[in-house]
Amino acid sequence: MGRHDRIAQLADLRAPVDGPVLEVADLATGYGRTVRAMLAEAVGPVRIHAVDTASTLDDDIMGDERVRSVIADLDEPLPFAEASIDRVISVNVAEHVADPLAHLDECYRVLRPDGLLVLAHSDWDTTLFAGDDDTLTRVLVDRFVSTVPQWAERADGFMGRKLLGLARSTAFELETVETWADTHRRFDEDSVAWKVARGVLAAAADDAQLAAQAAAWVAGLRKLAEDGRFLFTVTDVALVLRRPTPR
């Protein structure tokens, strides 16, 4: 089972019998992979607000009448009224916002009482690459984790393990904490492993010797993939948080 299917299950997307449509906000939705998993998982009527800074949803997702594309800056207040959403999904968002705690507070604000936030993040320091040189792989992964890439304003390779501490600083009630290894065998330009490898190359670029070693390392990963011996994993951490019902 992949990351997006796990997230959809954790969201508990069962609409109340004879009740209103279940309102779901998926933050930093991207191509809509989590949205697709939630549409398949949902029981009963659901409306998914796919939120991102631009709409890059796959055509089949964009054309689904249950999906609404919402353009918004996640450093600003979420574009929903207070207590208007039943589920909020925040996957790999926290490291990219200016104030992760304020992000959680915004999720709390828009959730209805008894609503759920699924807060998840990859912990990039747990990245595993199959490779022929274990020592070099460790050096390169450490370099990647400690370097903010040029295409991201912010990055935190340890964010996955920080989620619980963030959650404990909010008014949310903690329901569950889950972890799993997100495993990939592909190494092509659309794969997660390739995106991380691109980050490794960028992190090593200011050191000519290390950059040459990194380029050779990536070439080795391509060869492993061609031989069917490539493996990439990273640990995901997911919290299910509930906005408590007023007593």
Predicted TM-score of the model (pTM): 0.92
Cβ atoms of 118 and 88 closer than 8 Å: yes
Alpha carbons 25 and 107: distance in angstroms, whole number: 9
The pLDDT of residue 154: 77
Two structure tokens written together for 190: 């659309």
pLDDT digits (tens, 9 = 90+) for 225-235: 999 999 999 99
Q: Residue 147 has what pLDDT?
A: 83
The closest alpha carbon to 74, from 55, 56, 100, 49, belongs to 100
Query: What are the E-state strand segments in 28-110?
Result: 46-52, 67-71, 85-91
The pLDDT value recorded for residue 118 is: 98
Report which DSSP code applies to 220. H
What average pLDDT score do residues 53-60 get? Answer: 92
pLDDT tens digits along 126-140 = 999 998 899 999 999
DSSP 84: -
